[in-house]
Amino acid sequence: MPTQSPDSSGRVVVTGLGCVTPLGDDLTRTLEAAFEGRSGAGPITHFDASEQACQIAAECTPVLEPDILPKKERRRTDRSVLLALKAAEEAVADAGLVLESAEAERSGVAIGSGIGGLGTILANETILRESGARRVSPFTIPMGIANMPSGLVSLYFGLRGPNLCHVSACATGAHAIGEASELIRQGRADVMIVGGTEAPILGVAVAGFASMRALSLLNEEPEKASRPFDADRGGFLIGEGAGILVLESWEHAVERGATIRGEVLGYGANSDAHHMVAPDPDGEGASRCMATALAQAKLAPADVGYVNAHSTGTPAGDPAEARALRRVFGNHIDQLPVSATKSMTGHLLGAAGAVEAILTLASLERGLLLPTINLDRVDPECELDHVRGEARSADVSVALSNSFGFGGTNASLILGRSPSL
């Protein structure tokens, strides 16, 4: 893999990982389930879904208690915020990050969410309707706005640098990683705690996606519902969770003796400018996005050894991404392993890009490529070198992780294995 020399500037490394997903309430449990090819799907328990067309989802552990959050605050904190705080705790501990006062001013946060604290807003709308305005919580607005996960991580960890929130649908988590990496490359921060969080398993959200015919309706077999690239796919499986990474400049990480988990080598972001929710069927925007990420990384397509695809299991999205991959990688695509980890986690919307970046980095660390489950019959329009059914051993040093969202927004990350491996 072409790399910069260890003393070069502009390198952005990953020193901490943390997540809460339908596969497990921490990184260790999530990775164990993912490499074993388990599904996080099941019947919806967060609300009564018996009258809904879609009655399945990928849910996390019901009770979340971040240690950093005072107990009196937990009951009034939106679930999306709880997920982010829990994952951030783990990522910061994994990084061994302890910041002095001066360092805190150059340490920031970029944690996004696709829909923010929708649960808090809906709950208080019900209170308003049933009990009147005086009963509405004063935390309705603070817990409803999308930037509160980032705000509270900044508050509780004492980070006084940039405090950002990206809201770009299903590309949110990847945009947060990419844009925060740019801040570090530009010398505007030394440390950024980044990622995405989402708690969308709510009646109106599930009904809304179902009315668009975007969701899988395999209610009797939830573990088989998420079927990326499969000829019998019928939509995505909605999920919840959070993925948080600690990013640092190479110099800062080396100076404090941090363990480097990987590297953000390149980042691309653009738009299809095609449709409100449907991707460009030719994958033109997605292919340009991937090419931009490769160019920033100063890598050729043949340098990439693995792809974690955005693939959600929708009839339109999967073929468009397959075409985009073929456009970018040419003949190399036939020897380029591709995974679709949403087959296990479900689609975590604004958290998806961050969780998938974490899973991709773990693959590079372990030399083990994650499986795509439920891929029983590959759609002829999606023929690729799929990692089907079970994990595959491979010595890979560079990977691509894609995230595409409603509004035509695209994000691609080129991730590298730790230089020490």
Active site residue ranges:
170, 310, 347
Q: For the residues of 301-350, what is the DSSP string, one character each?
A: GGG--EEE----S-TTHHHHHHHHHHHHHGGGGGGSEEE-THHHH-B-GG
- Which pair of structure tokens corresponds to residue 248? 């640092």
CA-derived radius of gyration, the chain: 20
Centre a 10 Å sphere on the Cβ of residue 100 and count the other Cβ atoms it contains. Answer: 8
Q: Which of 203, 201, 210 is nearest to 41 (CA)?
A: 201
Q: Which of 273, 241, 141, 403 is nearest to 412 (CA)?
A: 403
- Please, which contacts does 137-146 make with residues 24 or more away whose CB atoms are closer than 8 Å? 137/76, 139/76, 139/77, 143/76, 143/77, 143/78, 143/81, 143/117, 144/78, 144/116, 144/117, 144/118, 144/120, 145/116, 145/117, 146/112, 146/113, 146/115, 146/116, 146/117
Q: Tell me how far apart the alpha carbons of residues 405 and 249 are, in angstroms, rounded to a whole number.
A: 28
Q: Tell me how far apart the alpha carbons of residues 288 and 408 are, in angstroms, rounded to a whole number.
A: 13
User: For the chain, what is the largest distance between any 2 Cα atoms, rounded to a whole number of angstroms?
Assistant: 65
